[in-house]
Structure 1
Amino acid sequence: MTPPVQGPSREFPWWLLAIALLLGGAYTAILLDDGARQVLATLGKGVRITVFVTLVAFAAACAIGLGLALMSLSRSVVLRQVARFYIEIVRGIPILVLLLYVAFVFAPGLVALWNWAGLPEIRTRDFTLLWRAILALVIAYSAFIAEVFRAGLQSVDKGQIEAAEALGLGRGHRFRFVVLPQAIRTILPPLGNDFVAMVKDSSLVSVVGVLDIAQLGKLTAASNFRYLETYNVVALLYLTMTLLLSLGLRRLERAMRR
């Protein structure tokens, strides 16, 4: 009798073991080298900025993306057209170009508009490059996240929504207790992918001078000329963060399926 084929869920994660050994060996080598250890200590300061940028930008992008998704599913033609206009325009611009545009064109324009409206006067430099970069990531990712939310909300069976309506549940309660709990199972995997992608794309903020991991790596390499050690540490830090996030999201997905 042929033994049953072991399913993917029961396979031992050899790939994870290989990555863990690779990371362990790499960090051990770094800690044993004085120069590489100094680089790690320097770049470690940029981890806080990277994490801060990612968390703030992703939370705001999710809020705006959900609003855009609801607008695109609205009964109002105007709201649907406005949401689609925003999504298509933003998705058609590379994130790097959008980042530069927001940092050096859009943000100064906002400051000028603020002052023109007679509000308490602010200077352009009061709008720091850190927050300009966060704003750019929010604008960029909100368009992609809006499509994730829209697809998830549309995946819910209309019959259940009609049943909830027949039971007398208002629109807000239908969304909270019927639509969202079912849609989140569809939304979570691509939303998690966007979160991991934002961790990596947060490195783009270095082009406007924000002192994240990538920018500190560039400055460190330019000062000590140890490009191999420096960019090895940069790559390891990003790989560590994205791997831990991916594993955490997988466990969350399995827990929600149960």
Structure 2
Amino acid sequence: MAENKIKPPEKIALIPGAEPSNRMDPWWWLVAGVFALAGGLMLFQPDPFLDIFKYVWVGIGITVLVAVVSYFLMLILGLFGGLGRLSQNTLIRGIATFYVEIVRGIPLLVQLIWWYFAFPVIIQTIGQALNFGPMLNYQANPIVMAIWGMTFCYGAYMSEIYRAGIQSIPKGQMEAARSLGMSHTQAMRFIILPQALRVVLPPMGNEFISLLKDTSLVSTVAVADMVRLGREFTATNFNPIEVWSMIALLYLILTLLSSRLINYIEKKTAFSR
């Protein structure tokens, strides 16, 4: 009878969900490579790469600010939209559906331009009709309009993510909660939503990465983000290859760090269904 041979540790398949071996995560190699490339360019060729970094430094903060604030507002708006899509009230469900379908059918860039250029004109027109000074003299704030435009657009996509997450929870959960005397609102709040939020966490993370990259569009509405500052530097120094290579590296660093944070949160909140 042949003896059962134990496989070497490095050849044993990992159990799904188990922590990997001591091998270094490839993500760290990628991050190290990107940081080394960006740092090397600024160290060995400070003109122009270090000059570019110093010039767009403020824009990095603006980019992160717009992305983070828009994201948290999007989560709130999307939750209302998702619940509205599942509402038994015909009017509420109709409004939520109208919002989701219309917004998802219009490009984000067009929406940003509309909120910044067209919306103030509407407010001023109403102010003129009502002879109301604050509305008559209304001027759009670029950052506020950029945040609202991003929130309004991504809130529609987030509504569908919430809706799908809620519908993925077995109907028996709601029936069991109602049989215990909970109202529909209580069951949704304490039973359904906590489970649904864990289900939708991965797509929520993906939405943040997409939103972070799409903040590059806010430069069209006079927001001094990395892209706008990069365009200004290019117009002055005439070196587009260096400028946009540095901007690309900075966006890559932001998305890599964000994806790692999202992955960490997903692992901490993971559960077996």
Q: Do Structure 1 and Structure 2 share a fold, with TM-score over 0.5?
A: yes
| 2:203 aligned partner | 190
CA pair 165-12 structure 1, distance change in 2 beyond 3 A:
same
Q: Which structure 2 residues correspond to residues 1-258 of structure 1 after superposition, within 5 A?
A: 3-6=11-14, 10=20, 12-35=24-47, 36-113=49-126, 116-117=129-130, 121-123=134-136, 126-257=139-270
What letter matches 2:166 in structure 1?
A: L
The 1-side partners of 2:30 and 2:61 are apart by 27
Q: Any gaps of 5 or more consecutive residues in structure 1?
A: none
Alignment partner of 1:71: what SS? helix
What letter matches 1:208 in structure 2?
A: V
Q: CA RMSD in A?
A: 2.1
Say whether the 8 Å CA contact 1:90–1:140 is kept in structure 2: yes
Compute the displacement of 1:253 (Å): 0.6
Q: Any gaps of 5 or more consecutive residues in structure 2?
A: none
Say whether the 8 Å CA contact 1:54–1:199 is kept in structure 2: yes
Select the structure that is richer in helix.
1
Compute the displacement of 1:257 (Å): 1.1
Compute the displacement of 1:29 (Å): 2.0
State TM-score, norm by structure 1: 0.91
Mean CA deviation greater in 14-23 or 147-156: 14-23
Mean CA deviation greater in 55-64 or 150-159: 55-64
What letter matches 1:83 in structure 2?
A: A
The 1-side partners of 2:67 and 2:130 are apart by 31
Alignment coverage as a number of residue pairs? 258
Say whether the 8 Å CA contact 1:161–1:174 is kept in structure 2: yes
Quick check: which has more Rg, 1 or 2? 2
- Deviations 1:31-83 (Å, cap 9, x if unpaired)? 33232112101111101111111122222222111111111101111211221
State TM-score, norm by structure 2: 0.86
What letter matches 1:60 in structure 2?
A: L
